[in-house]
A and B are shown apart, each in its own frame.
Chain A
């Protein structure tokens, strides 16, 4: 299994600012994904982070709001831009080598005031 770390673990940000979340995997992985978990809700996929190319976004999520980078097979970043209180959520990174094997990072708890 892969061990995934995320930084920061939590943050409190002011509206209108941006936050970049880092996801680091301890081994090379084929797939990396970013999910959002709003308070009391399930997980929703934001995008697939593609190595060396633009991320693939799900309906309702756009690159201007959630730019994603993936410079190599072990690292990805998600930026939450121009934040509003509605962006207060837990953001989770997942990674894996195959569809049947995906593991999650510990999440980043974001509060926007």
Chain B
């Protein structure tokens, strides 16, 4: 079974600074997908960024980028120029087509952005 671990229950960053959230996972599969979801107090799960395991290039979406290290099974999220609206719970998640596309989530990291 696949597992996802987020070792930072809480993180904080100053507005306009950069922060990195960590995620590691365990799998025996070679083809899979990794995601970062954001959950603000409204509880809506918002897809921030995704990475296909077969792609060597790290995904980027505006101020959000990932550092995907397949051999180390590491998938960190970097948020640049942090904004107050980035404050939320961030979940790392894994799925694959062979596992029925079911998402496995990490425990989450609560991000606080200080003005």
Contacts and interface: CB of A to CB of B under 8 A. Distances in A.
A75 interface: no
Contact of B103 (A43, A56, A107, A109): A43
B112 to A, nearest CB: 16
Contacts, number: 54
B107 interface: yes
Contacts of B104: 45
Given A90-B43, A107-B43, A42 B102 contact: no
A55 to B, nearest CB: 12
Given A90-B43, A94-B103, 19 more contacts: A31-B101, A42-B105, A42-B106, A42-B107, A43-B45, A43-B103, A44-B105, A48-B100, A58-B102, A94-B45, A96-B101, A98-B101, A99-B33, A100-B33, A103-B47, A104-B45, A106-B43, A106-B44, A107-B43
A58 B2 CA distance: 14
Q: Is the interface of A mostly helix, strand, loop or mixed?
A: strand
Interface residues of B, number: 23
Interface residues of A, number: 25
A102 interface: yes
